[in-house]
Amino acid sequence: MVKVITYGTYDLLHEGHIRLLKRAKALGDYLIVGVTGDGFDLTRGKINVQQSLVERIEAVKATGLADQIIVEEYEGQKIDDIRRYEADIFTVGSDWKGKFDYLSDLCKVVYLERTEGISSSEIRAEKREIRIGLIGDSPILNKFMRESRHVNGVKITGVCARDLSQLSDEILGLQCVTDSADLLYENCDAVYIISKPESHFQDIKASLEARKHVLCESPITLSVEEYDQLSEYAKRNGLILMDGIKTAYSTAFNRMILLVKGGVIGDIVSVDAVCTSLRNIGAEQPGLWNSMSFWATTAMLPIFDILGTDYKDKQIASRISEHDDKFDLFSKITFVYPHAVASLKIGQGVKSEGELIISGTKGYVYVPAPWWKTDYFEVRYENQSDNKRFFYKLEGEGIRFEILSFIRQIENGAKFSYIGENTSRKMIEVVSDFYKGDFVRL
């Protein structure tokens, strides 16, 4: 019996895939199809796969051509598979010509002519492109612009800014560069807002009223009432209002949370997160991003993801700037849960080690500084030889995955959100307590 093996993502299965599978099958008597796992596609840079692994496997199964389906999960697996399944022929489309010659020591390698004129990317692109407008003056917009190029199906069409001095030539070259939001709205379907936190409410309200979906840098608003009003409005009008915490979209962060929730370090007793920077020192003018608005929501993310939002008690202690009574140079927030505690330390004028430590009854997770944009973490135990290190590729600080999630939500509804509505709301509640003066002065 001649065994043939072939691999692919098979996203939105089309005629090109089916023709390839038919010819692969015809090369022998038994066809094994390796479907790429979601994680493997991410590491090889395919971030825009539309269907889940299960859906893609189902589609391949439905062709009736595969005698066996396996999942491809890591670099180098093809070698292991060819040995394990004793494949006689490895085959793949001619777009890969030469790339798999190294497998010819193990079996025969056949490149089949690719079907021209059809591809998953084209099928994806046929869906209408989502046009995003930018609102704000921050240099973070430059990163956002760069990152958007890695996501199929979006186009940045304009910017609404009062101060253009920190924006890249690429942004200034967009078709719509304006200080009028109304003009921007004419040229987009959705907006990314990174204005000052106290302007968020008005900016979001105006954008939703103009029927635009909104991705807004966190915190979305500075009061729960404002948040409720906006999120109600968005829901009633079928619009997305998404919280922009990019850490939530990093692969390492997500895997770490899943492992912790899966029990690798036993019951969680403490979560301690630190985020600081000294960038804004000396610039403590009213309206600038203080520690609370710049860092608090990011630091609350692992705490709320792991322990939930039902804490029993909370205390905020802050060192306030001499120049601005709303500018906390440093804050520490402690949350007390029924069976655990959590703390976060944030600073825009105080420096500390930006690490994340999650302590459990069997061990702890250590995420080194800067944990909010890390590609690496360790699970550590009493017996050091049991320690495990985890590495993931972090492309673009998570921004491209944030954009991808935004367009998926626009296309398919809010179920693709990584930050639950309840979490966003609770984060705003904490931040607003600070603004109401509910803190201990250091």
Among 3, 4, 5, 8, binds ligand C2G (CB under 6 A): 8
The answer to the question of residue 359 lying near ligand C2G (CB under 6 A) is: no
**What residue type is 412 in one-letter code?**
N
Minimal distance, residue 34 CB to ligand C2G, in Å: 7
Q: By CB under 6 A, what part of segment 33-72 binds ligand C2G?
A: 36, 72
Task: Return the number of the residue (7 or 253) whose C-beta is nearest ligand C2G.
Answer: 7
Q: Which two tokens stand for residue 245?
A: 């915490």
Minimal distance, residue 157 CB to ligand C2G, in Å: 29
Minimal distance, residue 197 CB to ligand C2G, in Å: 42
Per-position x/- string for 396-435, each x denoting binding to ligand C2G as judged by CB under 6 A, each - no binding: ----------------------------------------
- Judge whether 198 and 141 are in contact, CB under 8 Å: no
Minimal distance, residue 373 CB to ligand C2G, in Å: 28
Helices (H), 127-215: 140-148, 169-172, 181-186, 197-209
Minimal distance, residue 3 CB to ligand C2G, in Å: 17
Task: Return the number of the residue (10 or 371) whose C-beta is nearest ligand C2G.
Answer: 10
Helices (H), 179-265: 181-186, 197-209, 224-236, 251-261
| Cα separation, 442 vs 435, whole angstroms | 16
Among 3, 5, 7, 107, binds ligand C2G (CB under 6 A): 7
- Judge whether 143 and 170 are in contact, CB under 8 Å: no
Q: Which of the ranges 1-9, 127-135, 157-165, 269-277 carries the binding residues for ligand C2G, by CB under 6 A? A: 1-9
- Judge whether 108 and 90 are in contact, CB under 8 Å: yes
Which residues are CB-neighbours of 131 under 8 A, at least 6 positions away? 154, 155, 156, 157, 187, 188, 189, 190
Per-position x/- string for 75-114, each x denoting binding to ligand C2G as judged by CB under 6 A, each - no binding: -----------------xx-x------------------x
What CA–CA distances, in Å, run from 350 to 73, 130, 162, 323, 331?
Answer: 43, 40, 30, 16, 9
The answer to the question of residue 16 lying near ligand C2G (CB under 6 A) is: yes
Residue number with the shortest CB distance to ligand C2G? Answer: 93
Task: Return the number of the residue (11 or 395) whose C-beta is nearest ligand C2G.
Answer: 11
Minimal distance, residue 19 CB to ligand C2G, in Å: 6
- Judge whether 408 and 416 are in contact, CB under 8 Å: yes
Closest CA to 269 of 333, 331, 343: 343
Q: Which two tokens stand for residue 272?
A: 């301690």
Which residues are CB-neighbours of 26 under 8 A, at least 6 positions away? none
Length of the chain counted residue by residue: 442
Minimal distance, residue 154 CB to ligand C2G, in Å: 21
The beta strands (E) that lie in 15-95 are given as 30-36, 68-72, 89-93
Per rule CB under 6 A, count of chain residues that contact ligand C2G: 17
Q: Which of the ranges 16-24, 80-88, 174-182, 365-373 carries the binding residues for ligand C2G, by CB under 6 A? A: 16-24
Which residues are CB-neighbours of 41 under 8 A, at least 6 positions away? 9, 47, 49
Q: Which of the ranges 2-10, 222-230, 285-293, 375-383 carries the binding residues for ligand C2G, by CB under 6 A? A: 2-10
Minimal distance, residue 403 CB to ligand C2G, in Å: 22
Q: Which two tokens stand for residue 233?
A: 């409005």
Minimal distance, residue 286 CB to ligand C2G, in Å: 52
The answer to the question of residue 118 lying near ligand C2G (CB under 6 A) is: yes
Among 50, 115, 142, 223, binds ligand C2G (CB under 6 A): 115
Among 3, 4, 5, 9, binds ligand C2G (CB under 6 A): 9
**Is the bond preceding residue 197 a cis peptide, omega within 30 degrees?**
no
Q: What crossing angle do the helices spanning 140-148 and 399-412 adopt, rounded to 10°?
A: 60
Considering just the CA atoms, what is the radius of gyration of the chain in Å?
A: 25
Among 10, 311, 377, 434, binds ligand C2G (CB under 6 A): 10
Q: Which two tokens stand for residue 384?
A: 């050091």
Helices and strands in the chain: count of H runs, count of E runs: 14, 20
Applying CB under 6 A, the residues found at the interface with ligand C2G are: 7-11, 16-17, 20, 36, 72, 92-93, 95, 114-115, 118-119
